[in-house]
Amino acid sequence: MLKGKTVLLGVTGSIAAYKTASLASMLVKKGVKVHVLMTKNAAHFINPITFESLTGNKCLVDTFDRNFEFSVEHVALAKQADVVMIAPASANVIGKIAHGIADDMLTTTVMACRCKKILAPAMNTNMYENPILQDNLDICRRYGMEVITPAWGYLACGDTGAGKMPEPEVLYEYILREAGYPGDLAGRRILVTAGPTRESIDPVRYITNHSTGKMGYAIARVAAYRGADVTLVSGPVDLPRPLFVETVLVESAREMFEAVTARSGEQDIIVKAAAVADYRPATVGTEKIKKSDGDLSIALERTDDILGWLGQNRRDGQFLCGFSMETQNMLENSRAKLAKKHIDMIVANNLKVEGAGFGTDTNVVTLITRDSETELPIMAKEEVADCLLTEILKRTKA
């Protein structure tokens, strides 16, 4: 999604500068044109040659360097940039940017840029918590800049607290959201469910399924990248919580029902990708059920039908999308589910198709509505999510 984009990375005097080299490498591998601007103090922590080797572009430090490629270099770079990220951003440079001081190549270029600017503060905890620094960050936010909250942990100075620059993977996601996707879902409220549920048998055992949550998490991430206000209701999964998303963790089908129905009225779009248990034990043992020589039978009862409830209780203009995983008669069963649940779209896939199903990084799906069926080829789940959201957007535009 970032291929062909131009990213300006500003590097200031902080021990965290080494992380920016990894970020630059990551961006270049994605086909991004990366230009690095450093303060003179930053060059004490990392050599400009490092960035020149990684990006293939001259690393700029001196505003008056005569060996440049463009006629007025800071203006030329500013015009090319799709996004600027200053990482690490020192207290000194944050203060300059907040008050319009442009006295080196980095701050001069930032002043000339019209694109989005993202700051990743990195410094001693006491400096970060200083009211002056916080006021300067508020000024930057007021001018439309985004400020990434520092990580908490052990700092190079020996203190422990807020002030660590986040890892390159986190910084990359901020750039991806800003420059890699259109903001066409801005203002939309989207709820996504993901993962399995666990239905307790006793304090030791439970009934569940093979869902890993990857598809639902991909939908939540991409919706957030595209500007939506996203709530993710997730069953138990082994996945990191997505950035830019409010994540609600649940375990059982009943907990997921309560979490979804409590929030459904305020949503514009609901995508129910979770694999919710259809049945749960009628009674849950308070102690571990001991094995015996004979067979064991467990009485099961139906769980709450979340999608059915949503179809019966939707608010005006709300778009509902469900998922259907089948092992046979995929289209027929999915069409029947679409009608029975009174929803707008169902995403159908067959567990037996190579590249689809639980635990994979790809999927093969068919998007089914009352008047159309669109079969997608095998894709990464993020690409499936993007196609799905585009189709939903077409059907929800006023």
CATH code of the domain covering residue 293: 3.40.50.10300
Q: What torsion, rounded to 10 degrees, do the Cα atoms 106, 109, 113, 119 define?
A: 0
Q: How far apart are CA 183 and CA 340, in angstroms?
A: 34
**Same domain for 340 and 291:** yes
Low-confidence ranges of the chain (pLDDT < 50): 66, 70-71
Look at the chain and report how many structural domains it folds into.
2
**Same domain for 198 and 172:** no
**Same domain for 276 and 207:** yes
Provide the CATH number for the domain around residue 68: 3.40.50.1950
**Same domain for 221 and 255:** yes
341 is in an annotated binding site: yes
**pLDDT (tens digit, 9 = 90+) per residue, 341-365?**
999 999 999 888 899 988 899 999 9
340 is in an annotated binding site: no
Residues labelled catalytic: 157
**Same domain for 102 and 41:** yes
Confidence at residue 280, expressed as pLDDT on a 0 to 100 scale: 97
Q: Which residue, 157, 178, 199, sits at the end of a domain?
A: 178
Q: How far apart are CA 345 and CA 323, in angstroms?
A: 9
Model's pTM, two decimal places? 0.92
The answer to whether 272 and 323 are in contact (CB under 8 A) is yes
User: For residue 316, what are the domain limits?
Assistant: 187-394
**Same domain for 194 and 135:** no
Q: How far apart are CA 155 and CA 148, in angstroms?
A: 17
**Same domain for 306 and 162:** no
Confidence at residue 83, expressed as pLDDT on a 0 to 100 scale: 98
The answer to whether 385 and 218 are in contact (CB under 8 A) is yes
**Same domain for 364 and 329:** yes
**Same domain for 281 and 390:** yes
Confidence at residue 350, expressed as pLDDT on a 0 to 100 scale: 86
Q: What b/e sequence results for 205-224 when a residue is b if at least 16 CB atoms lie within 10 Å of its CB, and e otherwise?
A: ebbeeebbbbbbbbbbbbbb
**Same domain for 128 and 216:** no
Q: What torsion, rounded to 10 degrees, do the Cα atoms 132, 137, 140, 146 define?
A: 170
**Same domain for 191 and 174:** no
Phi, psi of 171 (to 5 degrees): -60, -40
Confidence at residue 152, expressed as pLDDT on a 0 to 100 scale: 84
